[in-house]
C-alpha cells in the first residue's frame, strides 16, 4: 500500500519542540533534542515518541509527563498553543519527567 495513505499526519500542523529534562539518566544527546512534532500530539504520543528507538530507545517504555512553563501538559500541543495565544511558528520547550502516576495506557502494553 502507498505509504502516504498510511500517513495519518497529512493535513496536520507541525511545531518545533525542544525536549529538555533535569534527570541526567534520561537526557537526550544534544543533537536529538530538537524535533518537528505533529501538533495533534498530546502526552501519550509524546511519551511514545520519546521512548522510540530514534529518541531514548528504551528497553521497556517509560511513561512520561511533560511540562511547559512549569505546568503539566494535559492537552494536545495544538490546544496548548491556542490557549496560550501562540502559533506553530514558535518553538515549544517541553520538560519531560517520569510520570509518577501509572498512566492508563500502560495496561495496553
Partner 1 sequence: RTHLDPSDTLELRSAADARQQWIHYESLTRDLSLSLTEQLRLILAPTLATKMRGDFRTGKRLNIKRIIPYIASQYKRDKIWMRRSVPSKRSYQIMLAVDDSKSMGESGSGSLAFETLVMVSKSLSMLEVGQICVVGFGENVKVAHDFETPFGSDAGPKIFQNFGFEQSRTDVTKLVRESIELFRTARTKTSSSPADLWQMQLIISDGVCDSSEHEPIRRLLREALEERIMMVFVIVDDVRNKKKGESVMDLKEAKFVKDESTGVSKVKVERYLDTFPFQYYLIVSDVKELPGVLATLLRQWFAEVVESSN
3-state secondary structure of 88: coil
52 touches partner 1 (CB under 8 A): yes
Q: Which stretch binds partner 1 (CB under 8 A): 36-44, 58-66, 70-78, 99-107?
A: 36-44
Verify binding: residue 12, partner 1, rule CB under 8 A.
Answer: yes
Extract the C-alpha cell encoding 8: 495519518
> Which of 8, 9, 30 lies closest to 19, judged by CA?
30
User: With CB cut-offs between 5 and 8 Å by kind, which of Mg ion, partner 1, none does residue 109 bind?
Assistant: none
How many residues bind to partner 1 according to rule CB under 8 A? Answer: 34
Q: Which three cell numbers stand for residue 21?
A: 529534562
Phi-psi sector, 90: left (phi>0), alpha (psi -120 to 50), beta? beta
> By CB under 8 A, is residue 1 in contact with partner 1?
yes
Shortest Cβ 97–partner 1 spacing (Å): 20
Binding mask 82-101 for partner 1 (x = CB under 8 A): -----xxxxx----------
Pairing outcome for strands 92-98 and 14-20: parallel
* Residue 64 cell numbers, joined: 512520561
Chosen from Mg ion, partner 1, none, partner binding at 84 (C-beta under 5 to 8 Å by type):
none
Amino acid at each position: 500500500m502507498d505509504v502516504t495513505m498510511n500517513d495519518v499526519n497529512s493535513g496536520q500542523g507541525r511545531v518545533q519542540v525542544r525536549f529538555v529534562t533535569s534527570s541526567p539518566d534520561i537526557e537526550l544527546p544534544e543533537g536529538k533534542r530538537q524535533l518537528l512534532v505533529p501538533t495533534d500530539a498530546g502526552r501519550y504520543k509524546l511519551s511514545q515518541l520519546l521512548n522510540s528507538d530514534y529518541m531514548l530507545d528504551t528497553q521497556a517504555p517509560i511513561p512520561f509527563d511533560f511540562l511547559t512553563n512549569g505546568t503539566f501538559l494535559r492537552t494536545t500541543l495544538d490546544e496548548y498553543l491556542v490557549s496560550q495565544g501562540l502559533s506553530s511558528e514558535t518553538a515549544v520547550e517541553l520538560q519531560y519527567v517520569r510520570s509518577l502516576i501509572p498512566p492508563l495506557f500502560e495496561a495496553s502494553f
